[in-house]
Amino acid sequence: MNERLIEQLRSKYLEIFGERPQILAKAPGRANIIGEHTDYNGGFVLPVGIDKNIYAFSSKRNDRTVHIYSYDFQESASFSTEELTYEDTKRWVNYQKGVFNELQKAGYELSGINMVFGGDIPVAAGLSSSAALELVTAVTLESLFNLNIDDLELIKLCRSAEKNFVGVQCGIMDQFASRMAKKDYAVLLDCKTLEYKYIPFKQDEYYIVLCNTLKKRELVDSEYNKRKKECEEGVTFFQKFNPEVEFLRDVDVDLFNSKKNEMPDIIRKRCGHVIYENKRVIDCVEALGKDDFERVKKLLFESHYSLKDLYEVSCRELDILVEIAGDCEGVSGSRMMGAGFGGCTINLVPLSGIEKFCNTIKSEYYKQTSIKPEIYICRIEDGACVID
């Protein structure tokens, strides 16, 4: 936990509200070992919570007013729980408004609150700072108002906040990971049934190292929605042969291969990625169970090249980072992570090789792009919760 930041937030709260906060909550960002663009296709993902969080100090108020101070943006916003409209200028507050909105729609009784929040999750890096902001708000409200909401409902409400209020058509991975993450484990989530299993991850032997391209992400929302549509076309295609197909996840490799030549080019590529990526997630879990890091490595690189060539959501900077990592001795895989078009790569690096890996990435990436990348060596952390 970032004790220094927590202390800064605590004194800011005292300074602004002149009282001690009732609770402190935190929610982590996420990394995803494998399973990209599979969640909204009812498939499998394998995320972890990382040791970068959003923290929020809060107290209940007796009226309907919500006062929030963003430590990172150094701005305040206020709204009434009875008037939840989209905010164009201070866009960060829409995440909290969205959560208030969904909880109230679901019938939970809320009053106003005071909140000061801030975090150390790099923004716009594809590490789900937005899901963390939703979750930190949700666990805060759950605790302040004794709502007793079951984990899955809370996760779904946060995802609806992002879909309905912020307007991003995301899958469920980010919110799920930010809530259900567990120290020393990855979470294997079946996005169709929402069944999940904790998979031990040897985080003292292999480190999750994230390399940030620092490339400004463009087109990500429109391309994301386009990919979703293309996958839906794929579902319609396969329903002709099997009416039980509800998601691409229901299409197995054999059915895909027997019909793929009858599909339009683009749709075949998109479906090919999703169908094989789902298989890679299951294979990766098996390989982790056997400590077979050679296999894990192969699967991660395959995932990257599939995202690049079939799903077409990578970019030059991400490809460069993956290529450099591929030449580094001992690295057990590297691939682009998250929605794509920028953001981070995820790399599994043995402890003994970290220093060399970081130096090589820094110098080679700079040579090829004139950008100094940021590198985050992550520890796997627990999900969103109230701390005190």
**Rounded to an integer, what distance in angstroms lies between the CA atom of residue 45 and that of residue 327?**
26
Alpha-helical regions (H) of the chain: 3-17, 93-105, 129-144, 151-160, 173-180, 220-239, 253-259, 265-289, 293-309, 316-326, 354-369
* Shortest distance, position 45 Cβ to ligand GLA, whole Å: 7
Q: How far apart are CA 185 and CA 301, in angstroms?
A: 22
Binds ligand GLA (CB under 6 A): choice among 118, 122, 171, 353: 171
Question: Residue 170 CB, nearest distance to ligand GLA (Å)?
Answer: 3
- 9-28: contacts with ligand GLA (CB under 6 A): none
Whole-angstrom distance, CA of residue 181 vs CA of residue 344 = 19
- Which C-beta is closer to ligand GLA: that of 40 or that of 376? 40
Helix (H) or strand (E) holding 109: none
- The nearer residue to ligand GLA, 113 or 322, going by C-beta atoms, is 322
Q: Is 311 in the site for ligand GLA (CB under 6 A)?
A: no
Single-letter amino acid, residue 161:
A
Closer residue to ligand GLA (CB): 119 or 338: 338
Q: Which of 122, 333, 338, 383 binds ligand GLA (CB under 6 A)?
A: 338
- Between CA 357 and CA 327 the distance in angstroms is 10
Residue 207 pairs in a beta bridge with 349
Nearer to ligand GLA, 135 or 170 (CB): 170
Examine residue 339 and tell whether it contacts ligand GLA (CB under 6 A). yes
Strand partners for 287: none
Candidates 36-44, 58-66, 115-123, 359-367: pick the segment binding ligand GLA (CB under 6 A): 36-44
104 to 124, 216, 260: CA distances (angstroms): 29, 35, 46
- What is the bridge-based pairing of β-strands 344-350 and 334-336? antiparallel
Span near ligand GLA by CB under 6 A; candidates 31-39, 48-56, 98-106, 249-257? 31-39
353 near ligand GLA (CB under 6 A):
no
Query: According to CB under 6 A, which one of 13, 21, 39, 121 is a site residue for ligand GLA?
Result: 39
Query: What burial class does residue 41 get, using C-beta atoms within 10 Å of its C-beta: 0-12 exposed, 13-18 middle, 19+ buried?
Result: buried
Q: Looking at beta carbons only, is 66 or 210 nearer to ligand GLA? A: 210
The residue at minimum Cβ distance from ligand GLA is 171
What's the min distance (Å) between Cβ of 159 and ligand GLA?
8
To ligand GLA, the closest distance from the beta carbon of 338 in angstroms equals: 4
Q: Of 200-259, which residues contact ligand GLA (CB under 6 A)?
A: none
User: Do 248 and 270 form a contact (C-beta atoms < 8 A)?
Assistant: no
Give the range of 134-142, 167-175, 238-246, 295-303 binding ligand GLA by CB under 6 A. Answer: 167-175
The three-class DSSP label of residue 212 is: strand
Candidates 32-40, 68-76, 231-239, 274-282 — which segment interacts with ligand GLA by CB under 6 A?
Answer: 32-40
Tell me the C-alpha distance between 34 and 348, whole Å: 11
Give catalytic residues, as residue numbers. Answer: 174
Nearer CB in complex with ligand GLA: 9/170: 170
Contact with ligand GLA (CB under 6 A) among 37, 97, 270, 273: 37
Residue with tokens 């989530």: 189
Write down the least CB distance from residue 384 to ligand GLA, Å: 16
Structure token digits, residue 64: 């309907």
Minimal distance in Å, beta carbon 27 to ligand GLA? 15
Out of 134, 174, 277, 381, name the contact with ligand GLA by CB under 6 A: 174
Count the residues of the shown chain that bind ligand GLA, applying the rule CB under 6 A. Answer: 10
Angstrom distances, CA of residue 245 to CA of 116, 253, 313: 46, 13, 25
The answer to whether 301 and 325 have CB atoms below 8 angstroms apart is no
- Interface with ligand GLA by CB under 6 A: which residues? 36-37, 39-40, 170-171, 173-174, 338-339
